[in-house]
Amino acid sequence: MRRKILEHIGSLAFVAIVFALLLIFLKHREAAERQARAQVVAPYLNLPGIDFGNPRDRALFKETLHLFRPASPPANDSLMSAIESYRQSQFTDPNLKAGTGERGLTWRVLGRLGLMYLQFVLVYGIVLALTFYGAQSLGIYRFVRMKQGRGSYIEEFLRLVGDPNVGGETPARIRKASFTLLKAFLKGVSYAVLFSPAYVIGYSFKTSFETDSVLFMILLGVVSNGLLVNYANKFYTLLATENRKGYVETALVKNLGGEYRWNVPGGIAYRSILRLPRRFPGHVLQHIYLNARHQYFPALKEQASFLITGLIIIEMALNIQGHLCYELLQNILYRQYDIALTIVFVIFLLVKVTDILVDVRQHREGLRYENRN
Amino acid sequence: MKTGTSQRAVLPLALRSERHVRWVLLWIAGIGLLWIWDLLFLNSPAFSLIRRALFNSLLAGLLVVIFSMTLGWASGLLVYSLEKRKNRVPYIAVTFFLNLIRSIPQIVGILLGYVGLTTLIIQDILRAPFLQLLSMSFVVSLFVFLEVTDLIRERIAHYKQLDFFDAMLCCGIKESRIVNVEILRKNSLSHLVHKGVAVFGMAIFLQCSIDFILSVGLSAEVSSTNFPATLGSMLARMDSKQDILAISMVFSNLSYVTALCTRHLQGLNIAFAIVYTLVCVYNIANGLVRRYHL
Amino acid sequence: MDQLTFDIRIVADGKPLVDIRDFSLQRNRVTVLLGESGIGKSLISRGMYGLLDPAELAVTVNGLAYQEYLGTDQVRAFQKSGFFVFQEPSSHLNPLMTLADQIREGSFSGAPSMPGVLRTLWEGTSGQELDSILSVYPKPYRPSGGEKQRILLAMALEKIDMLPGSPMPEALFIFDEPSGSLDNHYRDLFLSLLFDRYRNRPFTVLLITHDYSMISRISASHRDIMEKILFRELARRERGIALRDFQPGTYTDWVDDLRGSAGSQRAFQGQEPLLIVEPRLEVFGRTLLITRDSAGKNPERLAVPPGRMVYVKAPSGTGKTTLVKRVMGLIQEGSFEATLKGMPLTGGTPRRFWQERVWGKRMTMVFQHADEALNMHSTMRETLLGLPLRKPLTSQGLVRLIGELFDGGEAGDLLGKKIRFLSGGQKQRLNLLRGLALDTDVLILDEPLNGLDFESTTKVISMLRRKMEAGMGLLVISHNEEIFDALAGADQTYYLHAV
């Protein structure tokens, strides 16, 4: 454990040092670049009789450049772009617009970012908890259905339609088949939602809901980007793997329950999947679940990283102003790399803290199960 | 002590076990049906753009898989060979560096990589569209290859734990052959294929997401229009976004579905292609798990 | 009805795994089921008991689909009244529950006499020590494989004690390789406890084993109930497998012959030993001592002469496998001194030396688990032709080599088959062939008879004898004391102790 903690601290220190060095370098370089850019365009900006806001004047100026410097069209184009970009920044760069002259990482900016960061951490924490819980619930549900021998809804539909001996009398069969088809359709829709990138769902609902609310962000973070479904699949795979192990056979031979039907004596109750803590007393699923859950916990690190990716995509793609990741994108666009790096660093910190907490917890559990506590 | 109810399957057992093949065919069929629909209802310039974007996205995904497999294999073997040595410093340094990459959220890392690509494009170093696509894929693979590294290390560690490794050594078989041929090629091919499929899905998702985000642009000089067209960048266009926005019209007016499927085709097309590909990749990966008992 | 008869067919992914008719057990009798590993003994018994998963395997029993069979009164009675002890005890205990919790759940939650049964199987251990063993979470090396097996056997014996009535026709107790992880002492103790209970109240027992020495133990110690014990063997036929009677005398007479011929290995007397190992080794923080006596008082160098078999004995968990791996240079930590054909080998010998001069050239080892030691995705042909032999194998050489342990027809079918499709016994034979094909000066064998049926065992012993006659030295570790005591002789037997 000590080695792991040292590694975490080492990587934190390394990244912090790199970050600090980059900050210093960028500050100096930015100042120099800004000056250089201004110097290049300054002689042309105040030329009498030329209004760069007028497209005709711009075209004339460009032609004039080509006349006077026919041998270097790329340089002429470059100068035109530089002038255009300088003029644009007068309108779009928030610091220049505000006329404060303030630029880069200041205490005021840090304070603003701090509040955004707290909100980000809150959303992250809630989404992580919900997906951790949701993935296990879905995984167990899928596992129980597998043990019930239930195939896909499409297979069930084909069976009802194709085999007259299944499903009872014709009206009942038709009813069951229709209901099965509806369930298959709903499952398809839910898959489409669960796998959709967040921006697709976000834009689909943009006109009907307030998409920059924290609640919507949490909902989107949980159900989109394939996060929930992929980790539910991971948990299901762990359950299925554990199910094949020898201790399960011994548990069955000790007459622990092996019935997986819903809500029958000795079977599995729906609520046992949803309630916390999850327990399946007297059932072999208790053994399986215990082992799967123990192995699943380290996946939280991977899940955290993937989740942050999802939240970043949500904030950036939906242009949610006043949120941390939107600020990140804006600062990259406006070349305020010092602020951008600060945001990247604090996101990295969040991932690292999650990793450390997971490792500490796993270590404690490991000590117990290794008989070393 | 019943082991659960089971219903007799209509479909033969063999067909059920070839789920991954079924989903590949379903994907091809789904995209095929989409194209037929587009031929009927979508204007040809938009259709041509979508075809190019789909091709670029799939090609980028494939390139990510190739890069990730290569980087993953190389780094996995490097870490394995360093681990055996008495001098632990190189091993600690390399694993530290790899863990550092692992700690960076993928999208952040890719975004920073794209900042670098943007600089290269501004400086006219990356001109050809294929080179740009190659570079984009390489950047994505830098934050995805660790999955392959972990798999390679895990497979080698698994066989080292068993008598397999020692038994081969005792027969005089060289260690490099044991690792590369006996363990990785013969006993891990299905695992690697499964991982490749998963990486492909991840690549599509990340690439589309980053290209969508870049619709804002990473600099005033270079915007997403400078990068090759992909599904993400196509979805970020104003007309596509409007098509997606139109979906919410259906909630208040169900009859708008027809108009949605004929008039707002560009955006829906792209969104469907992305989501459908991700669902199919997921099921193909699951099918491989079931087929090869991974 | 006095007889339980089963027609069982098990298919996985379209491939038939087991297809047997008239697999029968006598009610209230003990059936000792012999046969090579992988022939289907465990699958059949699991199928009978109702433990197979209908979602993974297509099973029919007596014409019934498995789901229907599971609903029959017979299966319900087996499961309610009986018990099944699986082989590989390590994987049959939950690593995330204490042993104490695992022995008190399900039908054992109110088990009154469990402590007594456990104490009997842990004779010489105080109650406190036993509680301390039971309070642990089972891990690969703690408790040991033998201890885990004893816990599972205790549960079975407890279940027998819990049942009312005499006799118990519905009860079926299946023990799959019950002595696989046990020392001979505990194996004999278990057999005594089982047969004592059987004498009091007969019940149906199926005892699966490929340890043929159990026949000798039962004949020697439980002669009074021999008439109630049936020895059957599952063997391959042209189409599928079949059950046949096995005469105990076939085995016991063969062992007697072995004992008689032990003194004939004198061809290389007087020659320098091929391998010499100094008696004291340090490895993983433990000290191992090689002695000539079982009390551990006379440390002596272990010497493997040419043309002889050296047998090392020790209780389970002492470190026999660690010893041979150290001798092979597979473990490179700790102190160790040996000489191989005059070449000094120590703890500091570099790995490259082992690779270039020892492994596969002067010394090799056959590991006990063929499933792990062989590449399941290679074919038999690839496995043997891929060896770095001094003289590459020709096709004729390959056929000749395989013919040593496989029948002609069988070999032809198996050459191109992937190893994962071979039975356990076939894999073990291939495992041995691979080691023997290298034709090294010294061959180390770890449980060489693991998983073999009687016919294959005799072939393997004959082959080993031919190799010894050609001058090869053998170092063997095995639980089959009866056979290897006879082959090695007392003068080539050593004992290993953990100090």
Which of C70, C328, C376 comes nearest B2 by C-beta? C70
Question: What is the rounded average pLDDT of the residues C38-43?
Answer: 91
pLDDT given for residue A35 in this prediction: 76
Using alpha carbons only, give the angle A202, A208, A209 rounded to the nearest 5 degrees.
65
First-to-last C-alpha distance (Å) of chain B: 28
- E strand or H helix at C124, and its extent? none
Computed over every residue of chain B, the mean pLDDT equals 86
pLDDT given for residue B1 in this prediction: 47
What CATH number is given to the structural domain containing C158? 3.40.50.300
B115 touches chain A (CB under 8 A): yes
Question: What is the rounded average pLDDT of the residues C462-486?
Answer: 92
Q: Does residue B224 register a pLDDT over 70?
A: no
Distance CA A113, CA A126 (A): 20
B235 touches chain A (CB under 8 A): yes
Same-domain pairing of C332 and C374: yes
C92 touches chain A (CB under 8 A): yes
Domains held by chain B: number: 1
Window A:131-190, CB contacts with C under 8 Å: 146-147, 149
pLDDT, tens digit (0-9, with 9 covering 90-100), for C87-99: 888 889 999 999 9
Q: CATH topology for A109-149+197-369?
A: MetI-like fold (1.10.3720)
Of C456, C451, C449, which is closest to residue C484 (Cα–Cα)? C449
Q: Which residue of chain C has the CA closest to A293?
A: C96
Examine residue B33 and state whether it is found in any structural domain, yes or no: no
Predicted model pTM: 0.86
pLDDT, tens digit (0-9, with 9 covering 90-100), for A48-90: 888 888 888 888 988 888 888 887 777 788 788 878 877 877 7
> Which residues in B lie closer than 8 A to residue A163 (C-beta atoms)?
10
Chains within contact range of chain C (3+ C-beta pairs < 8 Å): A, B
> Which residues in A lie closer than 8 A to residue C97 (C-beta atoms)?
287, 290
Give the E-state strand segments of A58-108 in sequence order.
none
pLDDT given for residue A163 in this prediction: 77
Beta carbons within 8 Å of C209's beta carbon, 6+ residues apart: C32, C33, C34, C177, C178, C179
Using alpha carbons only, give the angle A232, A234, A237 rounded to the nearest 5 degrees.
110
A289 touches chain C (CB under 8 A): no
Domains held by chain C: number: 2
Question: What is the rounded average pLDDT of the residues C431-440?
Answer: 93
Same-domain pairing of C252 and C329: no
pLDDT, tens digit (0-9, with 9 covering 90-100), for C147-167: 899 999 999 999 998 887 766
CB contact under 8 A, B17 and C328: no
How many residues does the structure list for chain B?
Answer: 294
Same-domain pairing of C351 and C490: yes
pLDDT, tens digit (0-9, with 9 covering 90-100), for A176-198: 889 998 998 899 889 988 998 88
Domain that holds residue C331: 264-498
Question: What phi and psi values does residue C267 have, to the nearest 5 degrees?
Answer: -60, -30
Same-domain pairing of C93 and C47: yes
CB contact under 8 A, B102 and A332: no
Distance CA C203, CA B102 (A): 60
Q: Which amino acid is at A17?
A: I
pLDDT given for residue B8 in this prediction: 44
Domain end position, chosen among C225, C258, C291: C258
Closest chain C C-alpha to B162 CA, distance in angstroms: 6
C432 touches chain B (CB under 8 A): no
Q: Where are the alpha helices (DSSP H) in B85-145?
A: 89-103, 106-122, 129-142
Which of B2, B163, B170 comes nearest C360 by C-beta? B170
Same-domain pairing of C200 and C317: no
Chains within contact range of chain B (3+ C-beta pairs < 8 Å): A, C
C493 backbone φψ class: left, alpha, beta (φ>0; ψ -120 to 50): beta
- E strand or H helix at B214, and its extent? none
Q: Which residue of chain B has the CA closest to C363?
A: B170
Q: Which residue of chain A has the CA closest to B243?
A: A204
Q: Does residue C137 register a pLDDT over 70?
A: yes
Beta carbons within 8 Å of C90's beta carbon, 6+ residues apart: C138, C140, C145, C148
Domain end position, chosen among C258, C280, C311: C258
Best probe of the B interface among C73, C367, C433, by most B CBs < 10 A, is C367
Q: Which amino acid is at B53?
A: A
C374 touches chain B (CB under 8 A): yes
Examine residue B25 and state whether it is found in any structural domain, yes or no: no
pLDDT given for residue C266 in this prediction: 61
Closest chain B C-alpha to C398 CA, distance in angstroms: 17
How many residues does the structure list for chain A?
Answer: 373
Percent of chain C with pLDDT over 70: 96
Tokens at C300, concatenated: 């002596």
Same-domain pairing of C82 and C186: yes
Decide: helix, strand or coil at residue C33.
strand
Question: What strands lie across the sheet with C280-283, from one edge to the other?
Answer: C280-283, C286-291, C493-498, C309-313, C473-477, C442-446, C363-366
Computed over every residue of chain C, the mean pLDDT equals 89
CB contact under 8 A, B11 and A148: no
Q: Does residue A175 register a pLDDT over 50?
A: yes
Tokens at C18, concatenated: 């087991």
Same-domain pairing of C440 and C335: yes
CB contact under 8 A, A259 and B4: yes
CA distances from residue B112 to A334, B106, B107, B119, B127 in whole angstroms, order as listed? 14, 10, 9, 11, 20
Q: Which amino acid is at B207?
A: Q
Q: Which residue of chain A has the CA closest to B201?
A: A226
Q: What is the DSSP string of C68-81?
A: HHHTSHHHHHHHHH
pLDDT, tens digit (0-9, with 9 covering 90-100), for C294-331: 888 889 999 999 999 999 999 877 889 999 999 999 99
A38 touches chain C (CB under 8 A): no
Chains within contact range of chain A (3+ C-beta pairs < 8 Å): B, C
CB contact under 8 A, C79 and A255: yes
B2 pLDDT tier (thresholds 50, 70, 90): very low
Decide: helix, strand or coil at residue C98.
coil
Minimum mean pLDDT range among A173-177, B79-83, C329-333, C407-411: C407-411
Percent of chain A with pLDDT over 90: 31
Position with higher pLDDT, C114 vs B118 = B118
Neighbours of B155 (CB within 10 A): 18
The ipTM assigned to this model is 0.86
Domains of chain A by residue range:
47-92, 109-149+197-369
CB contact under 8 A, A252 and B206: no
Examine residue B117 and state whether it is found in any structural domain, yes or no: yes
Same-domain pairing of C303 and C382: yes
Examine residue B92 and state whether it is found in any structural domain, yes or no: yes
Closest chain B C-alpha to C295 CA, distance in angstroms: 31
Q: Does residue B4 register a pLDDT over 80?
A: no
Which of B106, B213, B249 comes nearest A316 by C-beta? B213
CB contact under 8 A, C92 and A246: yes
Computed over every residue of chain A, the mean pLDDT equals 86
CB contact under 8 A, C105 and A294: no
pLDDT given for residue B5 in this prediction: 41
Closest chain C C-alpha to A17 CA, distance in angstroms: 39
Question: What is the rounded average pLDDT of the residues C58-67?
Answer: 93
Domain that holds residue B163: 55-225
Best probe of the A interface among C105, C135, C175, C181, by most A CBs < 10 A, is C105
Which of B216, B241, B289 comes nearest A333 by C-beta? B216
Domain end position, chosen among C258, C287, C303: C258
A202 pLDDT tier (thresholds 50, 70, 90): confident
CB contact under 8 A, C14 and B13: yes
